Chain A
Amino acid sequence: MSSRIEEHPILGVQEKGRKVTFTCDGKAVEGYEGEPIATALKAAGIMVHRYTKKEHKPRGIFCAIGRCTDCVMIVDGKPNVRTCVTPLKEGMVVNTQYGVSAEPFEKQ
C-alpha cells in the first residue's frame, strides 16, 4: 500500500511535479520532481537514511524541516545533504551514508 495521500479531505488532490526516476543505493526509485528526496524515499518504503559514525546506529526522517540533520545522505557524491529539504531531480544518485561515507563500514 502506498503511503502517498491520493486525495485529502481538506486539501483535495495535491499537485505534484512530473514523475522522475532516481537511484537509491543503485536501485531505481520513482518520485515526483521538486518534492523533498526524503518524501520520495518514504513513498518507496525506505526508512534508513544513514548510520552514525561511532555507533553505527540507523537514522531516518526526524524533524522534516532541515533542522536536525538526521536524514542526511550522500546525494550525487556529496555527503551530509539534508534530504528532507532538498528537491528531487531526475537521475539523482542517492546513497545511504555510513558515517560520512557512501562505503559501508566493513569496507571503510
Chain B
Amino acid sequence: MSMKRYDLIIVGAGPSGLSAAIEAARRGLKVVVFDENEKPGGQLFKQIHKFFGSKEHKAKVRGFVIGQQLLQEAAELGVEVVLNATVVGMYMDKEIVVKMGEEVHHFKGDSILIATGAAENMVTFDGWTLPGVIGAGAAQTMMNLHGIKPGSKILMLGSGNVGLVVSYQLLQAGCEVVALVDAAPRVGGYGVHAAKVARCGVPFYLSHTIMKAEGTECVTGVTIAQVDSHFKFIPGTEKHFDVDTICLAVGLSPMSQLLKMAGCEMEDNPRRGGQVPICDEYGETSIKGLFVAGDVSGIEEASSAMIEGRIAGIAAAYYLGYIDKEELDAKYQENQAALAGLRQGMFAPENRGKLVEKTEEGIDVSMNLLEKGFIAEDEIERFPGVTHTKGIHPVIECSQNIPCNPCQDACPKHCIKIGSHITALPAVDENVECVGCGMCVASCSGQAIFLVQEDYEPGYGTVTLPYEFLPLPQKGDKGFGLDRSGKKVCEAEVVQVRTSPAFDHTNLLTIKVPSDMVMKARFYKAE
C-alpha cells in the first residue's frame, strides 16, 4: 500500500498548528495540516475581542482577524490544510490514520506536531442534561460563527476569562445575562474583563454555584446557592432566576489522547489542566521528532499557543536538518523571550489559584474587583492610571499586572507609560497634554481606559467610553450613566459618537454627566 509522506504532519489547524506550519513551510518543509472541523482556525474565529499582549504579538487585534492572517500566510507558503479530516490514530514510526468522509487514509510524517487543543470541562448538577444547558464554547460557536443567539436569558457559570469574555459576547449579541456565578471566592479571569461585564449590570455571585436546572423538556429556570469554604451548599441561600439557557465555562482539558496512543510519556499535571505529554523547551515529546504546541501541552491562551507553535515549527525544521543549530538557537531565544513575557504577572502559571494581594508596584489590589467584578469607588484612586487634572485626560482603570501594552503606543503624545516591563500598570504622565483623540480608549483590549473632562461646562463634565453594542447611540440621545456596578447613577446626554477604522469597531461614546459623576459613570444606557 502506498502511503503519502510529508516532512511535517500537523494535527489541528488552530493558532498553534497554523503558526507551526508557517514557520516550518518558510524553512522549506513540506507541511500538511489535518483538522476534523469544516473550517480551519480552531477557536480563533469565535474570538471577537481584541487580544492582550504586546504589539509584536498581535495585541489589540481581534481573534478572528488573527485567524484570517494565519490562514493567508499559511496558504502563501504552500501549506496544505485538509479539513473534515479526523486523525483517529497515531502509531509507531510516525504513521497516522485519518478518517475523511467514509474513508480511512494513512500518512507518514518525518516529524509530527500534535496541536489538538483542548476540550471543555463540564460540571454536573440536577438537570444538567436538559436542552438549554450548554458549554460556553457552544455559545460562542452559535453566536459568533452561526449568527444565532444561544438564548434570551442566560446564566453563566464560571468567572475565568472564558466565562467573562463569553458573557460580554452574549451581551453584544443581544442576550440578557442574568448572573455570573462561580463557586470560587474570587473572580478567576482578568479584572478588566470582569469590569466590562459588571458595568453592563450583570451581577456577580462568587462563592455560589448551581443547585439545579429547572424544566422538564428544556431549561426554564435555575437555582443557585452560596457555598462554604468546602464547596458545600449553605441552606437558606438559594436564589432562583428565570432563564432559558445555562452556560458552563468551567475550564478546559488538553485533548492529548493521540499522544498517549502513540506512547509518549505523559503526566497528570493539574497546573497544566490534566493529562499532558512530558516535553522539552521546544515542545518535543519523549518520542524524537514528535512535537506538541498549544493547549494540548498545557492550558494557556491563544497568544502563547501561537508562540509555542512557532517554536515547535522551527524545532521540526532543525530536527529534519533544514536549518542549523545557530538558527534554531536564535529563533528560539526570540520566541522564548516573548513567551516568558506572556507568562508574567498576576496570572502567570505559578500564581494560578493564589490570591495576589499587592501589585508589582506595591499597591493593594482591588478586593471588590475580585469579589464583585468591579473596582469600588474607594479603591480606584490608588492606581497609577487614575489621575485628576484640568481639561480632558485619560483615566486608566487597569489595576492588575497583566502582560499587555498597546495603550502606551496608542497615544500620539506619549502620555501613557508602561515602560519595558510589559506587566507594569500603565501610568499617566501628567506633564503631557492629552489631545482627546481617544486612540487609547479604542486600543485597550480590556476596555479599561476612559477620557474624562471634569470641566466641560459649568456643573457638567464628560466621560468618553468604549462602546461595542448595537444600536449605537446618536449625538443628542438622552439616557443614564451607569456606575462600575451597572447601577444607574445619573442622567446622561450623548454629546459625541466617534467611529473610525482605526478604532476597529470600538466606538467612542462621549456622555455629559454632572461634574460629581465623572469618576463614577462608566457606561451608558439609553432611556
On A, residues with C-beta under 8 Å from B are: 1, 3-5, 7-11, 14, 16, 35-36, 39, 42-43, 47-49, 57-67, 70, 84-85, 87
Contact = CB atoms under 8 A, between A and B. Distances in A.
Nearest to A3: B149
Given A59-B129, A65-B138, 13 more contacts: A3-B152, A4-B149, A8-B470, A11-B144, A11-B147, A42-B148, A47-B131, A61-B131, A62-B133, A63-B134, A64-B134, A70-B129, A84-B141
Contacts of B131: 47-49, 58-61
Contacts of A47: 131-132, 217-218
Nearest to B255: A67
Contacts of B138: 61-65, 84
Interface in B36-91: 36-38, 48, 62, 64
B231 interface: no
B62 A60 contact: no
Given A8-B147, A47-B132, A60 B218 contact: yes
A48 B218 contact: yes
Contacts of A16: 147
Interface string B132-146: 111101110111101
B474 interface: no
B134 A62 contact: yes
A47 B216 CA distance: 12
The interface residues of chain A, by DSSP majority, are classed as loop
B470 A9 contact: yes
Interface in B84-131: 119-120, 129-131
B479 interface: no
A26 B152 CA distance: 27
Contact of A4 (B64, B147, B468): B147
Contact of A10 (B36, B37, B62): B62
Contact of A43 (B133, B135, B148): B148
12 contacts: A4-B147, A8-B470, A9-B470, A39-B146, A47-B218, A58-B131, A60-B218, A61-B131, A64-B141, A65-B138, A66-B36, A67-B119
B116 to A, nearest CB: 12
B505 interface: yes
Contact of A8 (B36, B130, B172): B172
The interface residues of chain B, by DSSP majority, are classed as loop
Report the interface size class on chain B.
35 or more
B469 interface: yes
B174 interface: yes
Interface of B: 36-38, 48, 62, 64, 119-120, 129-135, 137-139, 141-144, 146-149, 151-152, 172-174, 216-218, 468-470, 472, 505
Nearest to A40: B148
Contact of B218 (A58, A63, A66): A58
B38 A3 contact: no
Contacts of A5: 143, 147-149, 173-174
B137 A63 contact: yes
A20 B359 CA distance: 56
A42 B129 contact: no
Contacts of B48: 10-11
A45 B48 CA distance: 26
Given A48-B131, A63-B135, A65-B141, A35 B217 contact: no
A63 B142 contact: no
Given A49-B131, A58-B130, A65-B137, A9 B468 contact: yes
A7 B62 CA distance: 18
Nearest to A57: B129
A42 B142 contact: yes
A28 B151 CA distance: 22
A58 B139 CA distance: 19
Nearest to A65: B141
A65 B143 CA distance: 13
Contacts of B172: 8-10
A70 B173 CA distance: 24
Contact of A64 (B133, B142, B468): B142
A39 B135 CA distance: 15
Q: Which 5 A-B pairs have the closest CB atoms?
A: A60-B131, A64-B138, A14-B147, A47-B218, A47-B131
Nearest to A39: B146
